[in-house]
Amino acid sequence: MSHGRHARKKFYKSDISIVERLMNHLFVPGHRGKKHKLTSGENVGKSMTAYNIVKRCFEIIEEKTGKNPIEVFVRALENAALREEVSSYQMGAIIVRKAVVTAPQRRVDLALRYFAQGAYHKAFNSKKSIEESLADEIIAAYNNSKDSTAIQEKERLEREAEGAR
């Protein structure tokens, strides 16, 4: 783990491994926009907890698929990364929405965020653990299934962008 060593550099995220970036998103999985949709305070700042969640999740993925969990994770990330989104700008007195191509770093960030949020929401108030939920989310995204929150969110945002073209 880098322990935030790159936090003061521009584009510091590029130097961090993709698995560690997933762990960082697991710190505040309930956070959406400017509010916490569900409380997620029990995870905040606990690096070893996030590490153990991801480690157990990868073990579950290996058991279920029989493939390298990192390979499954990267393919799922490729499937869940959105290509274009909607941006708003003001033109005179009205606000116009326009479809824009998503930056590569933002694509990965959004997909990781949707993995963390989807897993957290499926595990919240259920018998399923966060490790199992995260593994199911990643496997569903790997299979390009509608069961994945990340895939659903990607398709919703791309439909919105298509309408704003």
If pLDDT is split at 50, 70 and 90, which confidence band does 36 have?
low
Task: Please tell me the predicted confidence (pLDDT) of residue 44.
Answer: 76
**Sign of the C-alpha dihedral computed for residues 97, 99, 103 and 104 taken in this order:** positive
**Sign of the C-alpha dihedral computed for residues 133, 137, 143 and 144 taken in this order:** positive
CA distance 148 to 72: 14
- CB 53, CB 130: distance < 8 Å: yes
- Residue listed under structure tokens 């298509």: 162
- For residue 103 the two structure tokens come to 């930056």
- Collapsing DSSP to helix, strand or coil, 45 comes out as coil
CATH number of 12-82+103-146: 1.10.455.10
Q: pLDDT per residue over 65-101, tens digit each?
A: 999 999 999 999 999 998 888 888 888 888 888 888 8
If pLDDT is split at 50, 70 and 90, which confidence band does 39 have?
low
pLDDT at 13 over 80: no
Domain positions in the chain are: 12-82+103-146
Instruction: For residues 28-47, give the mean pLDDT.
Output: 71
Q: Which amino acid, 111?
A: A
Global pTM reads: 0.85
